[in-house]
Amino acid sequence: MDTIRDEEKPLHIVMFPWLAFGHMIPYLELAKLIAQKGHHVSYASTPRNIQRLPKLPPHLAPLIKFVSLPMPKVDNLPENAEATSDVSYDVVQHLKNAHDKLEQPLTHFLKSSNADWIFHDFTHFWLAPVASKLGIKSVFFSIFTPPFIGFLGPVSVLMGNDPGRIKPEDFTVAPPWVPFQTTVAYRYFEIMKIADVVSKNDSGYSDVYRAGGCLQNCDTILIRGCIEFEPEWFRVIQNIHQKPVLPAGELPTTVFNCSDENETWWWMKEWLDKQPCGTVVYVAFGSEAKPSQEEVTKIALGLEKSKLPFFWVLRVQRGHTDKNVLELPEGFEERTKGSGVVCTYWVPQMKIMGHKAVGGFLTHAGWTSVVEAIQNEKPLVLLTFLADQGINARVLEEKKMGYSVPRDEKDGSFTSDSVANSIRLVMVEEEGKIYRENIKEMKDLFVNPKRQDRYIDNLLNHLRSLLEH
């Protein structure tokens, strides 16, 4: 619905997400909600990423223009690698290098864009000063949740001016700027897996330094989340950054169907239709998280031991140059034929999760996947790997919305029995009923269209008011 009054000029907003689909998709969802109100969005990314984004609904296509920025060539980045899903984890720092080199083509576009605002991601510490010189205001739009941004802390800590966190153990407890009791912190094995996030890497800057620059220089902080779900974390962010902090809502995924997706879906639906209602465990770890070979073996054997049908989306490698190609245990596919599916390519996740046969979701706790599970009332079994996933898992555990597979605190190892037992607990057993019920209770909070609409109206009013000053 167009909310622009006759005398008002539509806003022109540029969006520039980090080169990861877990970032690009929520940015696109926000772009669609803003375009629905009659405003113009220029969505900037690289050519291959734009091609791979979901198709726009025809009524929004005239209002969302894709701006294709040529991907810079840098050392150690494979040909055609434009997103984190195209490269192994150790190569992502070189992708950040290439991404920083997009400053020049983006600046060139902004000069002639007549943009009012630019929405940018956590990697873009250089962007707000560039935009400011051109008279364009900036929003740091975080697809990370309020607890994650609150846990990261003030700019002084992020940029290394205040030695608030020195050892990995410092990340395993709630920080001093959080004034309430909480279990929201990393477990030791989680922080050790992402130690490069807090230390300088080959891109020249740590991820926390980048985020600090974004938080320091932006005009407004916009965060994917609901004030009603986590009001105390919004207050923490407001207190430590002392600038406007707005909720974007949970941005539930909207799907515009196209024919090739339906062809992929057809055989999957046929298999799911044969399974009893609520018995299938759906297993997927997003576009970035890739388990080790040992973890894949444990997950496979755990699925087998659970005695439940499963649909597993397994990324066997991250991009064609990834040398570590994952394999299933010997004999696994023969033993589980008929009762399980392993799919090694893209799948229509929302359609699978919406099917009545699916009764639970074994997930990495990436927030887009969490929101999609809540949209479809699927209880969560959590197995974290990277980035913000450990923090997300603590939030879900605290609110009894998800149950984490038990793991060794030091190295994060787990057993096939713990996988099987966790799945059965959440999906079948009386003890896990609370997880099944809480997910259903949260649905309205996460996907209520009126609340989401109100958040977008508040955001647009805020953007207008700042332009008028």
- Under the banding of pLDDT at 50, 70 and 90, the label for residue 90 is confident
| pLDDT at residue 309 greater than cutoff 90 | yes
| pLDDT at residue 295 greater than cutoff 60 | yes
Whether the model pTM is above 0.85? yes
**What's the rounded mean pLDDT across residues 272-276?**
96
Structural domains of the chain, ranges and CATH numbers in brackets: 12-254+448-468 (3.40.50.2000), 259-446 (3.40.50.2000)
Alpha carbon 65 to its chain's center: 23
Kindly report which listed range (37-46, 160-169, 226-235) carries the lowest average pLDDT score.
160-169
**Under 8 Å between Cβ of 108 and 83:** no
**What's the rounded mean pLDDT across residues 406-425?**
96
Count of H helices and E strands in the chain?
20, 13
Residue in 423, 395, 422 with CA at minimum distance from that of residue 407: 422
- Residue 1: the pLDDT is 45
| Concatenated DSSP letters of 103-119 | HHHHHHHHHTT--SEEE
- Under the banding of pLDDT at 50, 70 and 90, the label for residue 263 is confident
Q: Could you tell me the two tokens for 365?
A: 């706790």
| pLDDT at residue 69 greater than cutoff 90 | yes
- Under the banding of pLDDT at 50, 70 and 90, the label for residue 318 is confident
- Under the banding of pLDDT at 50, 70 and 90, the label for residue 257 is low
User: Using CA atoms, how far apart are residues 420 and 423, in angstroms rounded to an integer?
Assistant: 5
pLDDT (tens digit per residue) in 115-150: 999 999 999 999 999 999 999 999 999 999 999 999
**What's the rounded mean pLDDT across residues 235-259?**
87
